């Protein structure tokens, strides 16, 4: 009897060990999966302390890009993200703002050069149907450090779609950009900033870590703020690829200087690894 009990105990212990190893290897696979910057590009992986992430520096007047001092400064996303959280800014007192440019309608080469010359690391929320004719314009920006993120296939107001429809818009864009740009988006912005609870669930189901809206925006050559009259530390700033692109970029630069800010990369300031591991272990 005792012998049988002991061997049952050992079998139970062994199965626990096997299970632990499986869970751990799953977790490390998830960790490995998000370190996905393609070789030969300067795409940012968003990890503090990754010395490969900022090859040229950047920011106001070519000053070095300000990056977090360490893990403690990263935005920790809630776990597990069954719903992607909505963010409009990064909670920090450092003088950093994040420029996120949307859609991709007007492909202004002078504007692209303006950004590259200043080595601003920017986040691009691109709509697949809008950029489909000219991925090359954005690949060039990606090579200079821009990160391509998800802004749906058709730019439909997501709140008019059921969960499955929203999921299709978000997932298909992520799949497309993974092929076209070699990196899968990790953030999404809903068209027009319109979202509901299904949007947050659909974003998470497509592997997005956050729904990103904005705290300030540049429009028609001037800045508009959700509160106050200046850029605040951690602000996510909305801009568009429009015909006034150069005017918007110059207005933004002026305001950045006036408020003694630096342009930093949003993805540098988010803790993706923890969220990603949790996301994977939370799925079937
Ligand atoms: Zn848009």
Residue 37 CA to ligand 1 centre (angstroms): 25
For residue 125, report the distance from its CA to the centre of ligand 1, in Å: 8
**Euclidean distance between CA atoms 123 and 264, whole angstroms:** 10
187 token code pair = 């953030």
Whether the per-residue pLDDT at 101 is higher than 80: the answer is yes
Distance 101 CA to ligand 1 centre (A): 9
CA–centroid distance, residue 94 to ligand 1 (Å): 28
CA 72 to ligand 1 center in whole angstroms? 32
Q: What is the pLDDT of residue 12?
A: 56
Given a cut of 60, whether residue 276 has pLDDT beyond it is: no
**Mean pLDDT confidence for 245-268:** 97
What is the structure's pLDDT at 73?
84
Distance from Cα 278 to the centre of ligand 1, integer Å? 29
pLDDT tens sequence across 150-160? 999 999 999 99
Residue 178 CA neighbour count, 13 Å, CB half = 16
Confidence (pLDDT) at 8: 53
Q: Measured on CA atoms in the order 59, 61, 62, 66, is the torsion positive or negative?
A: negative
Predicted model pTM = 0.73
163 token code pair: 């969960």
Please say if the pLDDT value at position 280 is more than 90.
Answer: no
Task: Give distance in angstroms: CA of 87 to centre of ligand 1.
Answer: 16
């Amino acid at each position: 009897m005792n012998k049988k009990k002991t061997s049952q105990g050992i079998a139970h212990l062994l199965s626990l060990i096997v299970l632990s190893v499986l869970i751990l290897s799953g977790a490390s696979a998830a960790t490995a999966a998000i370190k996905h910057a393609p070789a030969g590009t300067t795409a940012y992986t968003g990890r503090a302390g990754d010395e490969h992430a900022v090859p040229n520096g950047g920011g106001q007047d070519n000053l070095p890009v300000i990056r977090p001092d360490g893990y403690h400064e990263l935005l920790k996303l809630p776990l597990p993200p069954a719903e992607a959280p909505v963010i409009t800014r990064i909670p920090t007192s450092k003088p950093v703002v994040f420029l996120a440019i949307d859609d991709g309608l007007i492909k202004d080469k002078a504007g692209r050069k303006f950004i590259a010359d200043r080595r601003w690391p920017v986040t691009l929320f691109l709509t697949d149907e809008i950029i489909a004719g000219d991925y090359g314009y954005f690949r060039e920006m990606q090579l200079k450090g821009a990160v391509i993120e998800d802004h749906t296939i058709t730019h439909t107001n997501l709140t008019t779609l059921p969960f499955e429809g929203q999921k299709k818009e978000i997932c298909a864009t992520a799949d497309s950009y993974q092929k076209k740009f070699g990196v899968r988006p990790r953030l999404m912005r809903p068209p027009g900033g319109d979202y509901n609870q299904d949007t947050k669930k659909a974003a998470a189901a497509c592997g997005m870590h956050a729904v990103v809206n904005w705290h300030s925006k540049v429009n028609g050559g001037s800045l508009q703020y959700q509160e106050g009259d200046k850029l605040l530390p951690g602000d996510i700033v909305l801009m568009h690829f429009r015909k006034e692109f150069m005017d918007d970029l110059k207005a933004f630069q002026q305001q950045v200087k006036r408020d003694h800010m630096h342009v930093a990369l949003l993805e540098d300031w988010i803790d993706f690894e923890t969220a990603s591991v949790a996301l994977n272990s939370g799925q079937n």
